[in-house]
Structure 1
């Protein structure tokens, strides 16, 4: 739920990598290594608290002497979460590097039924703060998708959610308005993996210059119709405001004037319970249209290749795309804990080739929750993904080389793999050691293949 990866620049070969595992700032490197080891040891040491008979405390700081319970009864639920991601590249890039990035989130949900007698209504407020460094940039990995998904969109404080939600007719109609993140409602997907290819709302991974995932929010409204026994249909309207959507903006939004258009996503969701075991599934089919004007990625304003003329790119009115998002549980080994078992997922997105530098992405994989009877809260994840650079962009790169204006790398597709083990050390601490392999970073053979060893840690305070 982060900014999209950028087109990778060719890195040098592995022969040019310094014979060191630290950047010039060795003190920072040693501190990051220490943090990596400390977090892993802490999660291992605490793993005994997550046995079948003890799920552990739900939050690190507990109930605050029953104050949290009293607040909840009054209609106020406070949230404080922390996510950190460590990543080290033993292969690929221009140097061995250990990079650390994190995010703090502060949230509150106000139940207006309890607070003010407004039935089926609530307000959500969330502020986030991001810090740290990004291995994809620090080690010049050249990847299209970041190997630390939590990095990006400005290392700053940000107003991420501030919306009002009202349900009508016993939940048949659901309306939301305010500051919304588009990925919380459309093409939404979990974020257990550390590589961005497998995390969050997929359209934001390939057209992140206008489909803004968490933590960026927009003035928006979403209307959802729930269909009993089938699923739902929903649509939304999200303001496209280039000045307002500065990725480095601080917590409070600017004046919402100056809109350049509106993005309108539509999604149908089928939520079946399959077989005698009634295993839950989620099948989403969506599309979007953005009314803004954008640059063509190949043609100039005279219809010629921009890479050869240097003239302004041609204007294209409207941007669009479509996606599917499937998640299905296929096994349930424990009748007493329906969350345990194997689930399969498939995400695929295409975007219009006139304006999109990356025009498609597909990701598929599995998540197994509760792999062992003594570890019912742990999970295992395995995923494979392909991110494709628009052939029209590659055509421009070929023309540059043919004209003797290169050499530049000609891009095609990047392939990513990730395997993680999610260790639910306590009820409030989840640690996910992972290993990533990126084949053809940036979609070009000019970059060495990348291996990343990572640790994603989530703490609920």
Structure 2
């Protein structure tokens, strides 16, 4: 049963098998399946020639499956997956546009969410891949232009804040250990993959190892409206309903300690559009009693740190890397107001260069203001009372990422969730997962 967790639905499985067969049948005899970076190989050398000419393709598939052995009220197995297809054009090589790059990427998500279907009650998903609409997204449409030997880089188009700001690495399957924490906590206005919004970002290299970058991103709740996503998320358009902008400012430092590279990021974020208050309605009265929409706050602030440092082995290769992330802010409007995480990854165990052992810990805090609202609501609506959560949800995850061949990764993982939802009222959960990644 364990190995069946990662299989797509029958139609998708058939399509995947057909693609695998096509890749195997068209690969050149000299192309080594075990070592080539793409399952379909180099297309008889065409892919390399195109990349040399400035056209670089990206095709991939990812599947995340999970089974809750403990927690929730039903024992279930659920799978969600994502296909991606994109191209990056070096416009300098193609048309002589100096230091200019165009990127286009589409993603398609499908599947079911274990957490909802088994009612785990958790704050952070056990399948980070699920969410933002199980549909097709225009995930990236950008042009980046460099100036002054690329000391200044300006990017504009459609993209998410999490692509450039914070720590976007996503090796773990639990959401609290994956991607930019700002999107995990303040996801009603800060977007992570696969969502894209209209944006512009400038990055200035202040020295060889320091930089500062500033972005302006559209804040529009339409982008996370399920009906709109199913109908229009793949389109190049500008939906109505923009409420303001999200402005992240980040300072970065990329030092080398003892021969090992590190990345240290410090950021502050301003959201000009604001969101509804958790407690007060538009008249300043408790909305738990009046039932009216929350008072619209004018804006919100938050901040984050994101550190990543290799500490042993061979720089950029085999060895231990330690990551630390934290974000906090926006107590007025966010049901979750802070998150902290620590992760350790050992690359190249057992003399296998592509394999990784990962161990991560995260704590996500449920807002005390949201808890105050729920207590008051329960007092006035005892027949419809809900759980009061005002503590931390603690997550730990252990995984082994195995590359049987270079283009395929199989990653079994074990997740334990203490106090799901930030309350001891929910059962602690134990989830067995399997993450599968294929690069075509």
TM-score by length of 1: 0.85
Cα distance change on mapping 1:310 and 1:54 into 2, 3 Å = closer
State the match for 1:423 in structure 2. Answer: 402
Counterpart CA distance in 1 for 2:349 and 2:402 is 11
| Higher helix content, 1 or 2 | 2
State the match for 1:49 in structure 2. Answer: none
**SS of 2:421 mapped into structure 1:** helix
State the match for 1:35 in structure 2. Answer: 7
Q: CA deviation at 1:385?
A: 0.6
Counterpart CA distance in 1 for 2:319 and 2:33 is 19
Q: CA deviation at 1:138?
A: 1.3
Pairing partner for 2:233 from 244, 250, 254: 250
Pairing partner for 1:444 from 408, 423, 428: 423
Q: CA deviation at 1:372?
A: 2.1
Q: How does 1:134-283 map onto structure 2 within 5 Å?
A: 134-247=113-226, 248=229, 249-275=232-258, 278-283=259-264
Counterpart CA distance in 1 for 2:81 and 2:405 is 20
- How big is each residue's C-alpha offset from its partner over 1:400-450, in whole Å with a ceiling of 9 and x where there is no partner? 344463532110221111000111221101111100000111112221111
Counterpart CA distance in 2 for 1:409 and 1:71 is 57
Cα pair 1:160 1:216 within 8 Å, conserved: yes
Counterpart CA distance in 1 for 2:265 and 2:186 is 19
State the match for 1:368 in structure 2. Answer: 346
Cα distance change on mapping 1:138 and 1:31 into 2, 3 Å = farther
Matched, 1:384 2:355: no
Cα distance change on mapping 1:138 and 1:104 into 2, 3 Å = same
Matched, 1:329 2:310: yes
Cα pair 2:188 2:221 within 8 Å, conserved: no
Q: State the aligned residue count.
A: 413
Whose RCO is larger (CA < 8 A, sep 6+)?
1
State the match for 1:114 in structure 2. Answer: 93
Instruction: Specify every segment of 5 or more residues in structure 2 that has no aligned partner in the other structure, as ranges.
Output: 18-31
State the match for 2:335 in structure 1. Answer: 357
Cα pair 2:6 2:79 within 8 Å, conserved: no
Counterpart CA distance in 1 for 2:394 and 2:78 is 22
Matched, 1:316 2:293: no
Cα distance change on mapping 1:63 and 1:327 into 2, 3 Å = same
State the match for 2:27 in structure 1. Answer: none
Counterpart CA distance in 2 for 1:65 and 1:59 is 12
**SS of 1:72 mapped into structure 2:** helix
Pairing partner for 1:290 from 267, 271, 281: 271
- How big is each residue's C-alpha offset from its partner over 1:290-349, in whole Å with a ceiling of 9 and x where there is no partner? 1103211111223332212323322210122100001111112x4xx6411111111101
Shifted more, 400-409 versus 222-231: the winner is: 400-409
Counterpart CA distance in 2 for 1:201 and 1:371 is 27
- How big is each residue's C-alpha offset from its partner over 1:11-46, in whole Å with a ceiling of 9 and x where there is no partner? xxxxxxxxxxxxxxxxxx99954839xx9xx9xxxx
State the match for 1:348 in structure 2. Answer: 326
**SS of 2:194 mapped into structure 1:** coil
Q: CA deviation at 1:78?
A: 0.7
Counterpart CA distance in 2 for 1:420 and 1:288 is 32
Counterpart CA distance in 2 for 1:271 and 1:110 is 27
Cα pair 1:32 1:100 within 8 Å, conserved: no
Counterpart CA distance in 2 for 1:219 and 1:35 is 35
TM-score by length of 2: 0.89
**SS of 1:115 mapped into structure 2:** helix
State the match for 2:370 in structure 1. Answer: 393
**SS of 1:393 mapped into structure 2:** helix
Counterpart CA distance in 2 for 1:345 and 1:368 is 12
Shifted more, 181-190 versus 235-244: the winner is: 235-244
- How big is each residue's C-alpha offset from its partner over 1:221-262, in whole Å with a ceiling of 9 and x where there is no partner? 000001223321000001112335534233113335542111
- How big is each residue's C-alpha offset from its partner over 1:158-202, in whole Å with a ceiling of 9 and x where there is no partner? 110010011111110011000112111011321110000000111
Counterpart CA distance in 2 for 1:242 and 1:96 is 34
Pairing partner for 1:304 from 267, 282, 285: 285
Cα distance change on mapping 1:306 and 1:127 into 2, 3 Å = same
